[in-house]
Amino acid sequence: MEHVNRFIIQCREAANRDELRVRLLSSLSGSAFTWFISLPPNSVITWADLEKQFHKYFFSGVHEKITDLVKLKQRNDESVESFVQRIWEVKNKCYSLVLDDRQLADLAFQGLLPHIRDKYAS
């Protein structure tokens, strides 16, 4: 919420025009930016649409934790690429969790299927 309010103040007179606010919101960062760029094309037209989607996604009451990341395991029919993408998606919902790339890679490695993990362990 702080980012949105700060954004509106920085926009000044543009903040009065819905379509400009929606377009200029690309200044988001982290998981908020990841969410924003994943929105389907034309799914957000007005500022009210954006606020509704933002609140639905970030304030749904469901927040992943480090334990959710640790529990993730690659499925038998899942490619490594799909598994890594799933890890990123869950990590992006861990709003207060700070992990560097190496820590996240270690978590992903531990969740790989055993035969794949063994192949890359050496």
- 10 Å Cβ neighbour count for 69? 21
Domain boundary among 58, 77, 97: 58
Q: Which of 37, 58, 79 is the last residue of a domain?
A: 58
- Whether 6 and 54 map to the same domain: the answer is yes
Rounded Cα gap, residues 57 and 36, in angstroms: 10
> Same structural domain for residues 43 and 76?
no
> Is the model's pLDDT at 63 over the cut of 70?
no
- Number of domains the chain is built from: 2
Which tokens sit at 36?
């924003």
Looking at the structure, tell me whether residues 32 and 80 fall in a common domain.
no
**Mean pLDDT computed over 92-108:** 80
Domain of residue 81, residue span? 66-121
Q: pTM, whole model, 2 decimals?
A: 0.51
Whether 23 shows a pLDDT value over 70: the answer reads no
